[in-house]
Chains A and B, each alone.
Chain A
Amino acid sequence: DAGVIQSPRHEVTEMGQEVTLRCKPISGHNSLFWYRQTMMRGLELLIYFNNNVPIDDSGMPEDRFSAKMPNASFSTLKIQPSEPRDSAVYFCASSFTRTGVDQPQHFGDGTRLSIL
């Protein structure tokens, strides 16, 4: 049973470059979440989708960040241009959400991003 799959696992790039992080949620899940984890700020929700539609993107730090979910099995988080302060571990999570049903989120192993 495949879990949430993220790629790449590690990314090192120079500031100013475009970075694209990818996520494949668990089949059958209808909600997808992007988080960022740093030592200073802990785990922060960036954006989440329900049925491929962005529901809340208030956690996206600024316009350099964008996320898409073209279909139920794929999502991307893009940073353009990247800056050193974007260095963090980015997690994708998915869950099955239905009114009255509170299913937990399942997390991928994350992408460790370093911007030089």
Chain B
Amino acid sequence: AQSVTQLDSHVSVSEGTPVLLRCNYSSSYSPSLFWYVQHPNKGLQLLLKYTSAATLVKGINGFEAEFKKSETSFHLTKPSAHMSDAAEYFCVVNYGGSQGNLIFGKGTKLSVKP
């Protein structure tokens, strides 16, 4: 079965230090991959998406993610964390066909310490 795994349920960093949120997906011929962010009491907001154009994808708020087919990974990174980055992050995979086939990871809660 197709799946997506976020390896950490909680990540804590200090403000100004790098952020790494990990995501692995089960192998498929050409998935579309997304990262969404959810702030408290808000809906999910799209950070970035990969749709096979370029392996390094830049998103909003300084986030980027690199698609590595050999590792079946799509980790999210940011060089320097900001307090406003504290939120929950979801890795999402579409294995093709209908948008109803989206598979959501269980989320990684990012805490940013001053």
Chain A interface (Cβ < 8 Å from any Cβ of B): 4, 31, 33, 42-43, 45, 48, 50, 55-56, 91, 93, 95, 97, 102-110, 112
Q: Which of B78-99 contact A (CB under 8 A)?
A: 90, 94, 98-99
Given the complex of chains A and B, what is the CA–CA distance between A97 and B32 in angstroms?
14
Of B41, B94, B100, B104, the most chain A CB neighbours within 10 A belong to B100
Contact A33 B100 (CB under 8 A): yes
B100 touches A45 (CB 8 A): yes
* B98 nearest in chain A by CB position: A55
Contact present for A104 and B100 (CB under 8 Å): no
Is the beta-carbon distance between A105 and B107 smaller than 8 angstroms? no
Stretch among B10-18, B19-27, B43-51, B63-71 lining the A interface = B43-51
Secondary structure at the A interface, as helix, strand, loop or mixed, is strand
* A31 and B43 within 8 A (CB): no
Cross-chain contact of B100 among A42, A43, A48, A108 (Cβ < 8 A): A48
B31-64, CB under 8 A of A: which get 1 and which 0? Answer: 0101010000111111001010000000000000
- The answer to whether A42 and B104 have CB atoms under 8 Å apart is yes
Contact A102 B107 (CB under 8 A): no
Q: Which of B41, B99, B106 contacts A105 (CB 8 A)?
A: B99
Is residue B112 contacting chain A, with contact meaning CB distance below 8 A?
A: no
For the complex with contacts A93-B43, A107-B45, A108-B43, 8 further pairs of A-B residues with Cβ separation under 8 Å are A33-B100, A45-B102, A91-B43, A93-B44, A97-B99, A102-B94, A110-B41, A112-B41
